[in-house]
């Protein structure tokens, strides 16, 4: 496995773009591990560490907004579907027995 987060990030982007949420959830730990390994090699004062922090924050923000956008699109598509089953007749009157003693 590469210790660079760029390759896992590209795979995550591709999975989200393809709306393959299962694959994206499987790839996320790989990306996080790659970021963690790279940060362990860098000192806290290293500007590259700060850049990686910023890049990771932006990437997580992008993933969140992409997932929310796709979720909204899917919800909108679901709302356009007929909400009633073709086997359920809505005009059928309810019949009850009216018993008087």
Alpha-carbon Rg for the chain in angstroms: 25
- The pLDDT score that the predictor gives to residue 5 is 84
DSSP 49: H
Structural contact between residues 28 and 45, judged by C-beta atoms closer than 8 angstroms? no
- One digit per residue, the tens of pLDDT, for the chain of length 101 reads 456 888 999 999 999 989 899 999 999 999 999 999 999 999 889 999 999 999 999 999 999 999 899 889 989 888 887 666 666 655 656 667 777 76
- The pLDDT score that the predictor gives to residue 89 is 58
């Amino acid at each position: 496995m590469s210790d660079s987060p760029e390759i896992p990030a590209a795979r995550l982007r591709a999975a989200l773009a393809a709306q393959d949420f299962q694959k994206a959830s499987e790839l996320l730990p790989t990306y996080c591990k790659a970021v963690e390994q790279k940060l362990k090699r860098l000192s806290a004062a290293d500007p590259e560490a700060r850049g990686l922090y910023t890049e990771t924050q932006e990437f997580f923000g992008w993933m969140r907004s992409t997932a929310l956008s796709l979720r909204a699109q899917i919800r909108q598509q679901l709302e356009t579907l007929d909400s009633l089953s073709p086997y359920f007749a809505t005009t059928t009157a309810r019949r009850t027995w009216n018993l008087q003693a």
